[in-house]
Amino acid sequence: MDRILNLRKYHRPVLLREVLEVLDLSPHLIVVDATFGFGGHAFEIARKVDPGVLIGFEKDPDTYRIVSESLPPITNVRLLNMGYERMDEGLLKVGIFNVDRVLFDLGISSFSLEGSGRGFSFRRDEILDLRFNPNEGIPAYEFLNRASEREIAEILRKYGEERKSNLIARAIVENRPIKTTGDLARIVDKFYSPKLRNKAKARVWQALRIHVNDELNNLKRGLALALKYLKLGGILAVVTFHSLEDRAVKSLKFFPFLKPITKKPILPNEDEVSKNPRSRSAKLRAYMKVEEVDALRLINDSRFADPFPKARVPRRRIKHRRR
């Protein structure tokens, strides 16, 4: 237990009480924590469902190593070093094909922000990598040094909703090569007054991180797979931290195989925000599965988990027929 408690220094779970309540946990349940991190939610869930099982997915190999070395010899936690977009592969590996609850916490841990050395925080001068798994894809600095001005501007505008995307993209190209967070921070700072610089850099970092990790496509696939393996009557809960994630999760209410549990998103209270300012933008949404779904059709459905809706299609037209 002491080893597990020591993991809390790396991350403080957001909306913990609310997540536990909305998941409606009891012994013997099988739960997937799709974003295990340092187990802020997971260990509390595992305790409540014991002798049930908690299956955790953790993409970051450094986080996985730290947590796996801290797990006690006998535990009802099964931890896998893979992203939730590979949930089908992971559940096959542990021999489980139906689960009762699934949780996604899409926040970034304090360890990633402050201790990973991959540039997730613009407040630290380090290599601008931004990959959750440094063994997959290309680092952000490599993208910035290869991409055209138009491609960079589109990424900043689409994923960061950055209104000065064209100006920043042009400056990036003119000042290449880019290698560190400091290189990029100095470019962004040129276009904003001191009071607005941090918010602007947060938008730029968000856009690059989403692009480098293909976050929105992976989220769509992860949600579809979660719904595939979730039992009828099972609960899906998602904690989001920015508008694109939240719009993608909010769009699930238009599909008839899900029943919203939370009519409006659950937000952190003032006490939590004062103790953990990073929780300020968190939103919790939850759904109950009421019909079987076809995961492959969902993944290929452009309307599913879509954060960029052109015009919302009425609920009755999004129905997926059973085969």
CB contact burial 234-255 (16+ within 10 A = b; e otherwise): bbbbbbbbbebbbebbbbbebb
**Residues 93-105 pLDDT 10s:** 999 999 999 999 9
Which residue shows structure tokens 């904690």? 239
The strands making up 77-80's β-sheet, listed across from edge to edge, are: 77-80, 53-57, 30-33, 99-105, 230-240, 283-289, 258-260
In tens, the pLDDT along 271-319 reads 999 998 888 999 999 999 999 999 999 999 999 999 997 655 445 445 5
CA distance 67 to 246: 28
Predicted pLDDT of residue 116: 78
Residue 294 three-state SS: coil
Per-residue pLDDT at 10: 58
Is residue 298 a contact partner of residue 276, using CB atoms and an 8 Å limit? Answer: no
Q: What is the pLDDT of residue 299?
A: 94
| pTM metric for this prediction | 0.91
Q: What is the pLDDT of residue 112?
A: 73
Fold match between domain 2-105+216-318 and domain 115-213: no
Taking every pair of Cα atoms in the chain, the longest distance, rounded to a whole number of angstroms, is 59
Topology of domain 115-213 in CATH is DNA polymerase; domain 1 (1.10.150)
Phi first, then psi, for residue 308 (nearest 5°) are -125, 60
**Torsions phi, psi for 56 (to 5 deg):** -110, 135
The reported pLDDT for the residue numbered 140 is: 98
Place of tokens 């699930």: 252
pLDDT of residue 73: 87
Pick from 13, 11, 48, 17: nearest CA to 31:
48
Q: Which CATH class is domain 2-105+216-318?
A: alpha beta
3-class secondary-structure state, position 235: strand
DSSP-H helix ranges across 175-283: 181-189, 194-213, 215-229, 243-250, 270-275
CA distance 208 to 144: 9
Segments in the chain below pLDDT 70: 1-11, 310-323
Q: Specify the 3-state DSSP secondary structure of 230.
A: strand
Domain ranges for the chain, please list them. 2-105+216-318, 115-213
